[in-house]
Amino acid sequence: MNRIVIALLISFALPVAHAADVQARRVDLLCHRTANKDVPENTLESLGQAALMGCDVVEIDVRRTLDGRIVLNHDGVLERLTDGIGDIETSYYDDLRLRDAGGWMDDRFEGMRISLFEDALRLAREENIQLLLDIKDKGIAPDVLRLLRQEGMLERVRFGGEWADVKQLYPRANEGEAQGVQPGVTAEQVKAYHRAGKSVIANFSANDHEMDLAAMKAAVAAGVDGINVDYPRLGADAVGRPVERTLATLAVQANTGQPAVRARAILQLSRYRGFPLEGEFARLLLDPDDQVSRAAAVALATARPRTSPSVFAEALRAANPDARANAAWALGVLRAPANLLIPVLHDSNPQVLQETLVALSHMPGAVSAEALLPLLSNHDPEVRGTAALALARHDPDEAVKAVPAQLNSEVKAARVLYDQWIERGKTQLTPAEMQSVMGYYRCQMKELQAIAMLHSPGVTEALEKQAFRPGKDFSQMNAIVAAFQLWDRIGSNPQPAIRALQATDHGVADKAEWMLVQSGPTVLPAVREAIASQNEAVRERAIRIVAWQGDLGALPRLRAIQQSDPRDEALAAWAIEKIEIIHPKL
């Protein structure tokens, strides 16, 4: 960080301390480039971490993308902070937001993204912190000021870097005066600055004193009004607001009181990065209250514990089924090795089995079909559904044979309940009946997800059977979900979907039509042929499909219809116009 930026960072109008109130005064904590020593810099997560550490002012770096979006980034070089190549200024934001901006620092930060300036402003407002904007590109002041006004943050920022045009557009920018000093400043020097009406900020960034806690404390004792740091945890300790004190308060709340309050405290604790809290979370995972246990599981999954999956061992053996279920869930989120959960497949608790099976559907390793197939016929329908997921992940060949057949069985069983309900005049379902209906519903949704994980001609046929099944019953959502899954599968054989265009059930025909719209150009030759169908519904739907797809190849047929077929003349004219709009003549 250059001297100009340092000078601006210290120039916030901070209150001047006097000798009489040194003990009671608040010393402000300023943070350089978000909490960049703890969390990947210039991310929302790093900005949030700086706020958690008690920072009052946080520096962020802003640049403009090729398409004019303002984002947080220091040097513009994507090779340093992302998994991509190139520069911020020559990249579109929609390109940048696909890049991982966290994994470069450690695997535990994978999935973080380059942040939009407006999102950072909202977070700063919510966390009640001020910002220093180190503007890296010339000429972006109008965009920066517009976003500051939009988010109500104009009075809570200082400007640095390429900010000359800011002053022209906003004369009140950077009002106020402060004095920057280096480590070793004396109380006499601080008093002299105070007598001159200046607040004093000691700098502990980019000067070989970044971790000099003793010097930070000495500067505070000398009466400075703030310290600027790279390590906010050290800075918080130096200004008398140690983060550990906050953690201790949250730990008390996590262990006493109402479950909802305890759960909130646990989740708040999980936001603190780099603290040895895994053991506490593992202990709370065993709590008899499920809200508390689940919050602890979420905290462990969020923390990505360095102690690896061993922190879950006791919970997986616990007498409390909630603890076992929550531990299994967290291991799935963490993509731990599948062998850790194989013993849990013998658990008798349905909820534990469900969480275990869903987790296994995400976990690497091998689980035999022999271990999973018995659960596909479990008495609990929700266990059956999640077993299908795990089987599809670990033995796709066996799943292709077993899961579609099981889904058909579930549909028939649910249909019996539906027919009984119709026979008695659609009276209100009893709680037991509603539980059965919802059990089949949840089961079928997971079985459809399992089928969608597989790839073979038989799978496509299984999805078509559900998608084009007419009528309404308790399993009708299957048709909607299956139809979506067919979008990218029917290109090699669109005929079943084209035949479905003539279905008397409008729901079936509508799903088929939109499926062919979304399936892309591979289906278009067959759809063009359908334009000549003698079936009026098929013909009209085919014309609409080629229009929505912008099919240039259909124009000759459409123009012929427009000129010679009064039945579809207007529809053909509309389709031609739609296609020509999509493909304007250059």
When pLDDT is averaged across residues 437-443 and rounded to a whole number, the result is 96
Which stretch of DSSP H or E encloses residue 227? strand 226-229
Looking at every residue in the chain, the average pLDDT score rounds to 93
What pLDDT is stored for residue 565 in this prediction?
84
Alpha helices in 347-380 (DSSP H): 350-360, 369-372
Interatomic CA distance for residues 433 and 419, integer angstroms: 13
What's the pLDDT band for 306 if we cut at 50, 70, 90? low
pLDDT at 81 over 70: yes
When pLDDT is averaged across residues 265-284 and rounded to a whole number, the result is 94
SS3 162: coil
Full 3-state SS string of 450-463: HHHCCCCHHHHHHH
Which residue has 């979006």 as its token pair?
A: 69
- Count of CB atoms within 10 A of residue 571's CB? 18
What pLDDT is stored for residue 399 in this prediction?
97
Instruction: Tokens for 513, please give them.
Output: 């039509």
What pLDDT is stored for residue 178 in this prediction?
85
Give the burial class of 553: count Cβ atoms within 10 A of its Cβ; 0-12 exposed, 13-18 middle, 19 or more buried: middle
CB 378 within 8 A of CB 387: yes
| One-letter identity of residue 272 | Y
Interatomic CA distance for residues 58 and 133, integer angstroms: 9
Interatomic CA distance for residues 538 and 509, integer angstroms: 9
Query: Which of 329, 305, 304, 303 has its CA nearest to residue 315?
Result: 329
CB 370 within 8 A of CB 362: no
φ and ψ of 554, to 5 deg: -90, -10
Which stretch of DSSP H or E encloses residue 135? strand 130-135
Q: What is the pLDDT of residues 350-369, one digit of tens each?
A: 999 999 999 999 999 999 99
- Give Cβ neighbours of residue 307 (< 8 Å, ≥ 6 apart): 278, 279
SS3 59: strand
Q: What is the pLDDT of residues 262-271, one digit of tens each?
A: 999 999 999 9
- Count of CB atoms within 10 A of residue 421's CB? 17
CB 505 within 8 A of CB 531: no
| One-letter identity of residue 363 | M
What's the pLDDT band for 119 if we cut at 50, 70, 90? very high
Full 3-state SS string of 325-339: HHHHHHHHHCCCCHH
Interatomic CA distance for residues 254 and 458, integer angstroms: 51
pLDDT at 458 over 90: no
When pLDDT is averaged across residues 213-217 and rounded to a whole number, the result is 98
β partners of residue 70? 64
Alpha helices in 162-289 (DSSP H): 164-169, 187-195, 213-221, 232-238, 243-255, 259-269, 278-284
Q: Is 583 left (phi over 0), alpha (psi -120 to 50) or beta?
A: beta
- Give Cβ neighbours of residue 330 (< 8 Å, ≥ 6 apart): 285, 297, 298, 300, 301, 312
